[in-house]
Amino acid sequence: MSKLLDPKILMAIKDLSLSAKMTIDGFMNGINKSTLKGAGLEFSQYRSYQPGDDLRALDWKMFARSDRYYIRESEVETNISVRILIDASASMNHNDGDFDKIDYVRYLGASLAYLANLQGDAIGLYVLKNNGIFSMTARQDYQHLARLFYQLEQIVPDGTFTQPVHYKELFAGTQKRELLIFLTDLYQKDDEITKLLDTLNSLRHEIVVFHVLSRNEFDLDFRGYSTFEDLETGETIQIDQEKAKQDYKSKLATYLAETRASLLDRRISYRTICTDEPLDEALRDFLKQRSKLRF
């Protein structure tokens, strides 16, 4: 694994676009590039014609030589739209001593966008907080990607997660399914995030949820602090960390298991990701989901 996938190193690079490029270059150099078959541009192999295949893909020279019908396949899939959804509610300001959740999400989102653009996919950005959504319609060109990086840099988490605001109209898209990547800490008061995911699911999109948590949330290690404040409501609570730690970890494990089961029941891909975790696993998950989409 490249050291450039270490989030501490990445976030020391202030230029988000440069960081994303270095991340993806390091990632691509470190993997065995599996061939993605589809209807793209780079020729890969022939296969026998099957009823229902696009006749435009028939290779007539092969037919002339063999008296059999063959289809030309390629290594690059048909382009799709990838929409990156960012939870920008105040809880994303949570800090584990090195950086905030939103910092990690910003760099992860930029890396995913760069990788998708490299594959020829159209990229869109949606930032959700308070009662609104900032949106950038999915497009595929370098200038659009540069604007997306700029908007990622401008995100300032605030308030609560947005309430439903024309979700269906905003995310209906084209007749084709799209890949939606949601970066969130899943902090919600009245199932507002669950309602969003149910709406997106009803539109038959492919959805990946990255549940972003910090290390001190996993371990209940807040360096002696015993007073905790809800970043979205302002409510405070005092606890004895040592006494509470075992019960906390048990309840957290139950919560994460229930969350995973709930989303998988909805056919939504889910994984937790910690803000000290290298980005390669998230990128692998993206490629795995990306390869499922066949149109």
At 295 the pLDDT is 43
Strands 132-139 and 70-74: unpaired
Where in the chain are the domains? 3-32+78-292, 38-74
Q: Can you give the pTM of this predicted structure? A: 0.76
Residue 277 CB neighbours (<10 A): 18
7-40 per-residue burial string, b: 16 or more CB within 10 A, e: under 16:
beebbebeebbebbbbbbebbeeeeeeeeebbbb
Structure tokens at 235: 């409510």
In this structure, whether the domain defined by 3-32+78-292 belongs to CATH 3.30.70.270 is answered with no
Residue 288 has a pLDDT of 77
- Would you call 109 exposed, middle or buried from its count of C-beta atoms within 10 A (0-12, 13-18, 19+)? buried
SS3 state of residue 106:
helix
Per-residue pLDDT of the chain (295 residues; tens, 9 = 90+): 444 456 666 666 667 777 787 777 777 766 544 433 443 334 445 556 566 666 666 676 766 777 766 666 554 444 688 999 999 999 999 988 777 899 999 989 999 998 888 888 889 999 998 878 888 888 888 889 989 999 999 999 999 888 766 676 777 766 566 889 999 999 998 888 999 999 888 888 889 999 999 988 888 776 666 677 777 788 887 777 677 778 888 899 999 999 999 999 999 999 999 998 888 777 888 777 766 654 4
- The count of other CB atoms within 10 Å of the CB of residue 261 is 11
> What Å distances lie between residue 55 and 50, 60, 80, CA to CA?
10, 10, 22
Under DSSP, the state recorded for 162 is P
Contact 45/142 with Cβ under 8 angstroms? Answer: no
